Amino acid sequence: MSVTAPLGFEAAGVAVGLKSSGSPDVAVVVNRGPLKVGAAVFTSNRAKANPIIWSQQAVQDGVVEAIVLNSGGANCFTGSFGFQTTHQTAEKAGQLLGVSAGDVLICSTGLIGTGDEAFRGKVLEGTEKGIAQLSADGGEAASLAIMTTDSRPKRSVVTRNGWSIGGMAKGAGMLAPGLATMLVVITTDAVIDAGQADAALRDATRVSFDRLDSDGCMSTNDQVTLMASGASGITPDFAAFAGALADVCADLARQLQGDAEGASHDITIEVVHAASEEDAVEVGRSVARNNLFKAAIFGNDPNWGRVLAAIGTTAAEFDPYDVDVWMNGVRVCSQGGPDASRDDVDLAPRATHLLIDLRVGAATATILTNDLTHDYVHENSAYAT
């Protein structure tokens, strides 16, 4: 049930014609309490969609009563009309739910730069229709409604000692870090306050969504939201809650990676023995964004030279002639020179593991990415048609 697995939440997913396919395209998730705690992290892209601008202000008081999400239109670069659409959506939801519009977050996903009266009308219709269909079983429908180019919904639930966390996510392209990746809604019935929610969410996204770098393209609409109802009546140890939240975020991030547009390999880049975590992240990301490396993996070519060339562009502390590189368990490079034969590396499986040993410290980091394929280029060349 994803977001309605924890107690105190209702959700719905409805179709109002935003998608040409006729599939669900507006989702509503409502926190029935008794707590109405909320926290969110947003894209760091300076080009922000209208829902991001709204939600960044609305969440500042740590109270979130509901969230309305639409697919089929990003409502980004749509001027004052677009912001008015976001405002009216929150007002509509607030009116129907009997809550303040300022406690309603808004998310949108789809094509940038499009929006008219028909779009606004459908979003408002979907908000009304969704609220009318709210139920404790509506989490699955909501997870379907937020999909765009996704081939499948992403859901995750963990249950602990009397409390739980549930989540849903959408994302298949424009997956790059910057506090959050695409649209994610997470709910919990644990008793936590706004400060704890914010701290735990930022810690969890830092090592999950912020480490997903599928194609190096940062969206204008990225948002991860956490809502806490306290309906379980249980106050967990903060470390236990933070760990469970990190597990949900990591699971959803992996699902996003596995559904990346056109990908044929899911690449896990593990950097070990770095001087600092920042260095490990920088090195891993340099490889994740290297098109030559990603194209080589698509061609099942264990071209480790492209790995060293990529990490050599970073400011991380290491000696490029004292680095080891492993591909799917085979050490192809030892201390900056050839080791095992490339013929020993099997890159046929979708799961691909790259291990980079910098041999200078004790810090590690893992970055998730995908290969660069013909299908990815084709899908994104025709996205707006």
| 181 included as an active-site residue | yes
Residue with tokens 């690449």: 267
Distance CA 342, CA 340 (A): 6
Residue 219 vs residues 157, 176, 180, 188, 197: alpha-carbon distances, Å:
26, 7, 9, 26, 24
**Omega prior to 34 cis, within 30 of 0:** yes
Distance CA 130, CA 36 (A): 20
Cα end-to-end distance, the chain, whole Å: 33
Distance CA 374, CA 310 (A): 22
Alpha helices in the chain (DSSP H): 50-58, 79-97, 117-132, 139-145, 194-206, 238-258, 277-288, 291-298, 304-311, 374-381
DSSP string, 346-371: ---SSEEEEEEE--S-SEEEEEEEE-
> What's the CA dihedral at 186, 224, 199, 275 to 10 degrees?
120
* Neighbour order of strands in the sheet with 223-228: 37-42, 223-228, 183-188, 164-170, 154-159
Q: How many helical (H) and strand (E) elements, i.e. helices and strands, does the chain have?
A: 10, 15
Residue 161 vs residues 164, 165, 200, 229, 233: alpha-carbon distances, Å:
8, 11, 18, 16, 11
**Catalytic residue chosen out of the listed positions 85, 149, 181, 373:** 181
> For helices 238-258 and 194-206, what crossing angle results, to 10°?
40
For the record, the structure tokens of 52 come out as: 């991001």
For the record, the structure tokens of 384 come out as: 């707006």
- The phi, psi pair for 366, rounded to 5°, reads -125, 130
Question: Which of these, 260, 293, 214, 292, lies nearest to 375 by C-alpha position?
Answer: 260
Tally of CB atoms within 10 A around 373: 20
State the catalytic residues: 181
